[in-house]
Amino acid sequence: MLSSVTSPQELDERFRTALGELATPERRRDPDEPIRDDTRLTGAQASRLFDAQVTSRHLDLAARWLRGFGEGYYTIGSAGHEGNAAVAAALRPTDPALLHYRSGGFYTARAAQVPGSDPARDVLRGLIASASEPIAGGRHKVFGNAELDIIPTTSTIASHLPRAIGLGFAIERARRLSIEPPWPGDAVAVCSFGDASVNHASATAAFNTAGWCEHVGLRLPVLFVCEDNRLGISVRSPNGWVAAALSSRPGLRYLAADGCDLPAAYDAAAEAVAWVRRHRRPAILHLSTVRLMGHAGADAEMGYRMPAELARDLERDPLIATARLLVDAGVATPAEILAQYDEVGWRIRKTAEEVLDEPKLASATEVVAPLAPRRPARVAQAVVDAAAAAADGASSGRASAFAGRLPEDLGPLTLAQAINATLTDALVSWPQALIFGEDVAVKGGVYGVTKGLRDRFGAGRVFDTLLDETSILGFGLGAGLAGLLPIPEIQYLAYLHNAEDQLRGEAATMSFFSAGAYRNPMVVRIAGLAYQEGFGGHFHNDNAVAALRDIPGLVLACPARPDDAAAMLRTCLAAALVDGSVCAFLEPIALYHTRDLHAEGDGQWAARYPAPAAWADEHVPIGRARVDVIGSGEDLTIVTFGNGVRMSLRAAATLAAKGIGSRVVDLRWLSPLPVADIVREASATGRVLIVDETRRSGGVGEGVVAALVDRGYVGAALRVASVDSFVPLGPAAAYVLVGEDSILEGASCLLAG
C-alpha cells in the first residue's frame, strides 16, 4: 500500500527492483548508433544523459536526507522531470537558459557539457545555504551558474518568462546594432516552467508578446519548455487544457513529446531548437512528465491524489525508463547500471558530507553585499566619460542628433525638454542605449518627452512596443543581461502596478540571487504624480510610490526641476552601466511644461541645459538632496519632493515676506533617501515641515520622519500629506492633495509652537 507520499527510500527500492527484472538482450547496438529505431539519440548520448538523470535523482534524495537532520533548507525536487536533460543535450552550453525549479536534469546535463563543472557540489551547496554556492552564495537555492550560462530565476511562478522574451529580443537587436552580447549571435534563449504556470498573467503576457513579435516580423529566438506533470501543487491542470492553451498561441510553433521517454524528448527538443536557431522565431516544447515524491518534503499527496494515480506516475518513472532503454539496446547491463547508480549516489553522499562544514552567510553585511553596489566615484567618472563621448561627436554625431540646434544654445528648457535633450545625449554617448515603450517612438510620447528621438536614431534604438507593461519591463530585463542599456517607459505610474513584480521579483533580485554575476542595468522612466490641470482621475494622477520604495536596492529618482532632471537622469544611466543599478525615474507630469515659479512669465522654473563640458560640475550623486535658502533660512526647514518643491518654494516666498526664513530641501531621491542632508538641514532650524504629496499612510513622509528619529533629531516636526485616497477627477482633487494653503497652515503651526 502506498504511503501518504512516495518516500526517497521507496523510490530507491523501486528503481532497484525494476532493474533486477531487466534481462540483457542477445544483440547489442553500437553506442554510436541510434539507441532505438525511431530516434536520432545514440546509445552514447543516452548513456551520458542517464548519468545526468541519475545525478539529478540522487540530489533529490540527498535534499530529503539533509532536511531529515536539519541541515537542508529546500526539498522541491526534479524527480519525475529528469527527461528535461534531453533539452540541454539539444542545446549548446552557450545558449542562455532560465530554468524551472524542477529542471535538475537540465542543469546536470548542461554542466556535463562544460569541462570542470561539478553540478552535484553546486546543488548541494544551494541546499544547505553554503556561502560558497556558485550563484546565489547561500541566499537562495536556485539553478544558476554564470559559467554554464544558466541565469537564476526566483520562485515567483512564471515571472521569468517576460525576461526570456527580452533575452531573445536582445540577442537579435545586439547583433543588429553591432554590440557584442555575452552569447553567440545565433544563440537560442530557453525558458522552462511548469504546467500550472501557463495560467499565470506573466506567462500569458510572454506568450502574447512572442506571438505579437512574430506577427510584426520581429525575430525572437526563444524556446519555451513546459514541463507538464498535470499538477500545480495540489490543483490539477484540467485534461487537455495545457495542450490546448499552448498549441493555440498565434505565432508560436508547438511541439509535444513524452518527457519520460528520453529518445522522444530528445528528438522533439532537437527539432524545436534547430527550428528556433535557424528561423529566429519562437517555439513551445510541451513535455509530459510526472511528479514523484510530492511537491516538496512536507507534501502529503494522499490528501488530494488517489493511490491509482500515484501508481501510474511511478510506472512512468523516467529513470527506470532510461535504464530499460539502455539495457534493451545492450548499451549497458543491469549490473553496470546499478553500479553506476550506486557510484553516483555514493559520490553525492560524500560531497554532501564535505560541504556541510562550509561557512554560511555570517552577517547582514554579507547578505546584502551584492544587492545594490554603490560606487559613486565610478558613476561620476562614467558621466565624465559620457561627456567626452558627446563632445567628441559635437561636430558630427551630436550636432546631427540635435539637427544642428544644440540644447545648451537654446535658452532655458522645461522639464520635458531637458529630459528629451538628456535622452538624446545618452543615445549619442552610449551606442548600447535603447528607448522603448508604448507611444514613445512615432508619437514621441503622450507629453512629447521623446519627440524626435526615433527620427534621429532610427527604429532600431527607439521603438514602440505593444501595450503591456509586463512585457515592456521584460524587454528591459533581457536587454540589460545582454549588455544593452535599456530605458523603457511606463506611460503612467498607475500602469506600473500591473507589472511591479518584474521590478521586485526579477530586476531587483538578480544581483542578489547571483552574487553579482548577473545584473539588470535599467532606467525605467515613469510619468506620475498628480496636479494635472484639465486632465485627471486616478489612472493619470497616481501618487502611490510605496511599492517602489519597498524594493531593496532599487533607486527611485524624482526630479522636480529641469536642471536636476538632466543631471539625475545621467546619474541613473551611469549607475546602471557601472553598478548594474535598477533605477525608476519618476517624472512629475504636472511639471513637464511648467516655466514659471512665482508669476506668469517669470521663467524661474525653466533652466539652461549644460554643455557636456559642464556635466561633471553639475553631477548629482545618488542620495544627495538640493537645498534652497529663502531669506535668512533660520526659522523653518521644509522637506519635500516633486510637485511639493514648487509649492513649497512659493510658500517660502510668502513666509519670507513676513520675515520668516526657510530652507526648502528637495529630496530628489526617494530611495535611498538623502538622510544626511535631511538631518543636517532639520537641525539647522529645529523645526521641520514635511510636505508629502503622496499619502499620509505609506507615503514618503513616513520615511523622512523615521530617518529623523533614527538619527536622534530632537526638534519639532510636522507632516502635511495628501489624504489616504485615490485622486478624483476635476476640482475634487484639491480636497485630497496637498496645496500651498495647507503648507502655510502647517508652517504656522510649527512656528507657533
C-alpha to C-alpha distance for 363 and 141, rounded to whole angstroms: 18
Question: To which residue does cell 508619437 refer?
Answer: 443
Torsion sign, CA atoms 338, 343, 349, 355: negative
Phi (first) and psi of residue 664, to 5 degrees:
-105, 115
Residues in the chain: 753
CB 664 within 8 A of CB 691: no
CB 419 within 8 A of CB 566: yes
Helix (H) or strand (E) holding 40: none
Phi (first) and psi of residue 139, to 5 degrees:
-85, -25
C-alpha to C-alpha distance for 702 and 673, rounded to whole angstroms: 11
All 3 cell numbers of residue 472?
515592456
C-alpha to C-alpha distance for 207 and 669, rounded to whole angstroms: 36
Query: Concatenated DSSP letters for 256-302?
Result: EEETTSHHHHHHHHHHHHHHHHHH---EEEEEE----S-SSTT--GG
- Determine whether 710 is exposed, middle or buried from the number of CB atoms within 10 Å of its CB (0-12, 13-18, 19+): exposed
C-alpha to C-alpha distance for 160 and 142, rounded to whole angstroms: 13
Nearest to 473 by CA among 432, 434, 524: 524
End-to-end CA distance of the chain: 78
C-alpha to C-alpha distance for 600 and 678, rounded to whole angstroms: 31
Antiparallel, parallel or unpaired: β 669-671 and 626-630: unpaired
- Determine whether 38 is exposed, middle or buried from the number of CB atoms within 10 Å of its CB (0-12, 13-18, 19+): exposed
Tell me if residue 729 falls in helix, strand or coil.
Answer: coil
Q: Which residues are catalytic?
A: 540
Region of residue 549 (phi > 0: left; psi between -120 and 50: alpha; otherwise: beta): alpha
- Determine whether 726 is exposed, middle or buried from the number of CB atoms within 10 Å of its CB (0-12, 13-18, 19+): middle
Query: Concatenated DSSP letters for 678-701?
Result: HHHHHHHHSEEEEEESS-TTTSHH
Tell me if residue 107 falls in helix, strand or coil.
Answer: helix
Q: What's the Cα-to-Cα distance from 355 to each of 71, 72, 494, rounded to whole Å?
A: 11, 11, 47
C-alpha to C-alpha distance for 293 and 61, rounded to whole angstroms: 9
Helix (H) or strand (E) holding 630: strand 626-630
Farthest-apart Cα atoms in the chain, separation: 106
Antiparallel, parallel or unpaired: β 433-437 and 522-528: unpaired
C-alpha to C-alpha distance for 243 and 255, rounded to whole angstroms: 10
Antiparallel, parallel or unpaired: β 555-557 and 582-588: parallel
Amino acid letter at 476? G
C-alpha to C-alpha distance for 637 and 430, rounded to whole angstroms: 40
